[in-house]
Amino acid sequence: MGRALFSVLVLGKQVTKVAVIGAFAPSLVGFRGPLLRGMARRGLEVDALAAFESNETVRAIESLGARFVPIPVRRTGLNPTQDLRTLLFLRQYYKDARPDIVLPYTVKPIVWGSLAAFGERRIKLVPIVTGLGYAFDGSSAQRRALRALVSGLYSLALRRADAVVFQNTDDLEHFRTAGIFDRSEVAHVIEGSGVDVARFAPRPIPPGPPVFLCIARLLRAKGLAEYAQAAAAVRARRPDVRFRLVGPVDESPDGLSPADVTCNGAVEYVGPVSDVRGELANCHVFVLPSYREGLPRSVIEAMSTGRPVVTTRVPGCAATVDDGVNGWLVDARSATSLAQGIFRALDAEAHWGSIGEANRIRAERRFSDTMVTERMFDILGV
């Protein structure tokens, strides 16, 4: 790759190569970018693996100092043939590329990436659990069956792990109480994946009518149906308030259509954007009504930009906000509670600037990508 390799010691042997495995290639840039860049700067040889998305994404990954390796993996759905292809591909990759450290994140990369590492004793395996996801939300018979399957696969896969990183203590405790993973000696909690606080610089609260912004993939579990309903309820009393939604349509079974999230025009659906900083700069308050998160990066980006936050009192989201201090917490799955939280935010309009300043300080002190990356390096021993 045209750069000198810096050898370090992990478990008593030299390490020069790290494989970071995801399913969605843009997340390697958006969520793992600081880690990839940091490892490359330390002289490690870095492979970034995911399903091919676009040449633009590949170039962005390579600009971080990593080599992109396309793998046959689908983020969603249960297809034994496809999943077997993923497993076999990763097993052959380990034999050919011989990575010394493997960092899989999200469900399928963790399960198949970990199972493929069985028998590869030289690999230091460190899965990153970024959230519980679709299988762990809901109580239908189908969802319970899926949850049992995923829990069993997680339990088997994590037996091979040398360390496991969680993004909040609630997810770690859930894995313990559910009997999925109880090896506390190798469990670590790092809050989120980190945000580039220099890139998401503080921006002044703009003039004009209040603008509330939500950035999320179009998934039911992000609380977008409730966001649309709450927007309609608020606009019935305050027609000057605008609600915007930025994010792509998602192919997940939990996916929603743009029509599902606009509520007859109460919400302005923007679609996906390549750079959310402009949207954050032009809003007054950020909203994320999610049902559960690992630790929501979108909220941290909003805090770094200097915006108050309305979010739900659920694992992950609640870790970012002290209710009534730097934002407002509401009940998940409740449009009524969300509308009440938005009205509380509107009542505090005179304080948005000072709340935003406090959020910027919090982002710098707790959630900067530099801090998160250094903690990951400590766990990896590099």
Q: Label residue 135 by pLDDT band (50, 70, 90).
A: low
Q: Label residue 14 by pLDDT band (50, 70, 90).
A: low
The percent of residues in the chain predicted with pLDDT above 70, rounded, is: 95
Average pLDDT on 118-127 reads 94
Closest CA to 190 of 105, 118, 266, 112: 105
**pLDDT surpassing 70 at residue 5:** no
**pLDDT surpassing 70 at residue 13:** no
Identify which has the larger pLDDT, 2 or 135. Answer: 135
Confidence at residue 294, expressed as pLDDT on a 0 to 100 scale: 85
Strands 8-10 and 13-15: antiparallel
- Give yes or no for a contact between 321 and 355, defined as CB atoms under 8 angstroms apart: no
Tens digit of pLDDT for each residue in 69-116?
A: 999 998 777 788 999 999 999 999 999 999 999 999 999 999 999 999
Q: What is the CATH number of domain 8-194+368-380?
A: 3.40.50.2000
Report the alpha-carbon angle 13-68-85, nearest 5. 90
Average pLDDT on 328-334 reads 97
**pLDDT surpassing 80 at residue 154:** yes
Confidence at residue 74, expressed as pLDDT on a 0 to 100 scale: 86
Tens digit of pLDDT for each residue in 251-273?
A: 878 899 999 999 889 999 999 99
Backbone Cα Rg of the chain: 21
**pLDDT surpassing 60 at residue 12:** no
Q: What's the N-to-C CA distance of the chain in angstroms? A: 20
d(CA 332, CA 323): 14
Confidence at residue 329, expressed as pLDDT on a 0 to 100 scale: 98
For residue 80, give Cα distances in angstroms to 83, 84, 353: 5, 6, 52
Report the alpha-carbon angle 321-324-330, nearest 5. 65
What is the residue-averaged pLDDT of the chain? 91
d(CA 21, CA 91): 13
d(CA 258, CA 249): 8
82 backbone dihedrals φ, ψ, rounded to 5°? -65, -45
d(CA 333, CA 195): 27
Q: Label residue 15 by pLDDT band (50, 70, 90).
A: low
Confidence at residue 214, expressed as pLDDT on a 0 to 100 scale: 98
Tens digit of pLDDT for each residue in 205-249?
A: 999 999 999 999 999 999 999 999 999 999 999 999 999 999 999
Domain 211-366, second-level architecture:
3-Layer(aba) Sandwich (3.40)
Q: Residue 207, Cβ neighbours under 10 Å: how many?
A: 6
Average pLDDT on 340-346 reads 98
Average pLDDT on 283-298 reads 94
Q: Residue length, the chain?
A: 382
Beta strands in the chain (DSSP E): 8-10, 13-15, 17-24, 45-51, 67-70, 101-104, 124-125, 128-129, 164-166, 187-189, 211-215, 242-246, 268-271, 285-288, 309-312, 327-330
d(CA 103, CA 17): 11
- Report domain extents, the chain: 8-194+368-380, 211-366
Confidence at residue 150, expressed as pLDDT on a 0 to 100 scale: 87
Report the alpha-carbon angle 35-40-41, nearest 5. 100
pTM of the model: 0.84
Confidence at residue 127, expressed as pLDDT on a 0 to 100 scale: 97
Average pLDDT on 321-325 reads 93
DSSP secondary structure string for all residues of 165-176: EESSHHHHHHHH
Domain 8-194+368-380 and domain 211-366 have a common topology: yes
- Give yes or no for a contact between 128 and 105, defined as CB atoms under 8 angstroms apart: yes
